[in-house]
Amino acid sequence: MSNLSCHETKRKVYEYLGDELDAKVKQEVDGHLASCQLCKAEYDLERTISNLVINSSSGSDRNSDFFNKISSSLRSELD
């Protein structure tokens, strides 16, 4: 079972999508997403944005200004 809070999960969503999490932590995030609509919605939004950015830059520039701009504005809303 997941011990993550919503706040922790939302923060980890970025790392999750960037494939930066341990398998164990990923499982915890998965577990939380499976039971929490709010975080699932956040995850879906982030994943959609990530896919758009990756597709538009052929996956070679995930630290583009565009991505950072969106990412930081979303992060500020979460804090």
Choose between 13 and 53: whose C-beta lies nearer to Zn ion: 13
Determine if 33 is a binding residue for Zn ion (CB under 5 A).
Answer: no
The yes or no reply on residue 29 touching Zn ion (CB under 5 A) is no
Among 13, 17, 29, 36, binds Zn ion (CB under 5 A): 36
State the greatest distance between any 2 C-alpha atoms of the chain, in Å, as a whole number: 37
d(CA 16, CA 35): 17
Among residues 28, 39, 46, 53, the one that binds Zn ion under rule CB under 5 A: 39
Return d(Cα 41, Cα 33) in angstroms, integer. Answer: 9
Q: How far apart are the first and last CA of the chain?
A: 25
Which residues here bind Zn ion, judged by CB under 5 A? 6, 36, 39
